Amino acid sequence: MLFNLRILLNKAALRNGHSFAVRNYRCGQPLQNKVQLKGRDLLTLKNFTGEEIKYMLWLSADLKFRIKQKGEYLPLLQGKSLGMIFEKRSTRTRLSTETGFALLGGHPCFLTTQDIHLGVNESLMDTARVLSSMTDAVLARVYKQSDLDILAKEASIPIINGLSDLYHPIQILADYLTLQEHYGSLKGLTLSWIGDGNNILHSIMMSAAKFGMHLQVATPKGYEPDPSITKLAEQYAKENGTKLSLMNDPLEAARGGNALITDTWISMGQEEEKKKRLQAFQGYQVTMKTAKVAASDWTFLHCLPRKPEEVDDEVFYSPRSLVFPEAENRKWTIMAVMVSLLTDYSPQLQKPKF
């Protein structure tokens, strides 16, 4: 509570006058001491406790149930506006944020580098202060995590990471909601990552152990996750009694895994490395051969867009693939993030047992 209060006071000092399956949820008792996230930034899940991340997932499930299943209209963000800064193109992040914020009664404003002077004709500091006077929050999809850090430092409103070179926290919330819906609980699951040591993996590493999930990672040599993130993930695993295994053998990483997870091998900004990367990732395609060594209840996740060399059609379009529910859940989880950072709303759905 003191930590949250300190964040709110620091923010205030900068102001210048300004598909859901209910049956799969093991429901427990409503939370007695509600987690308070209002006024926080979401730059990385490293900055959030397990209970705080669980709260966002609980809120996601609540909004999905009330709005999608029950058909309720919840204008929780009426009168609020959101600045959406996109240095990189996007389908799911843009659409989920824009439609989700509007569905909750707010006004999203989409901004590209062609629309504003971000870090070119205007400093990040000045942009942060201007946006703080005109919007209630900013979601930024940027190349550099350091730019998000500057925006958060200078802004008096919540800053949300819509993707950076280092982290993609809002994607991981959607992944966890999807697995929660499918398995009924996250604790004890084994996640098998097969691919690049990138921002998606980094976000999993900063959060999986907080749910009691084990993580098995296979990356080609030279494409391992950031060493500082690995060190912190090892600490989380030790604190939570989970296993973190890093290796170069895709089949070994898949062995016993409940969720097989991969991502693009060539992220935006890495196009010049395409030939080199395709050679390095030979043998990393997820196929039914991969699935044969996984757990009997294995599922598959991919944050999209997908290319055939990353996962073949047999797995990608199989009944075990959760990629399209995962994509839809981007909307419900980003809505929950916005509601939790901007309002005092409390979920009505009973808290799931994570």
- Catalytically active residues, by annotation: 303
**Beta-carbon-side half-sphere exposure of residue 45 (alpha carbons within 13 Å):** 35
Q: Cα(92)–Cα(334) distance, rounded to whole angstroms?
A: 11
246 forms bridges with which residues in the sheet? 217
DSSP secondary structure string for all residues of 167-188: --HHHHHHHHHHHHHHHS--TT
260 forms bridges with which residues in the sheet? 192, 300
Q: Are the beta carbons of 135 and 112 closer than 8 angstroms?
A: no
β-strand pairing of 107-112 with 190-194: unpaired
Q: Are the beta carbons of 90 and 141 closer than 8 angstroms?
A: yes
**SS3 (DSSP) at 283:** coil
- Spatial strand order in the sheet of 299-302: 244-247, 214-218, 190-194, 259-262, 299-302
Measured CA to CA in angstroms, residue 251 lies from 101, 195, 201, 264 at distances of 41, 12, 18, 18
Q: Cα(87)–Cα(162) distance, rounded to whole angstroms?
A: 10
In angstroms and rounded to an integer, the radius of gyration of the C-alpha atoms of the chain is 20
Comparing C-alpha atoms, which of 73, 89, 104 is closest to residue 143? 89
Phi (first) and psi of residue 130, to 5 degrees: -65, -50
Q: Are the beta carbons of 93 and 331 closer than 8 angstroms?
A: no
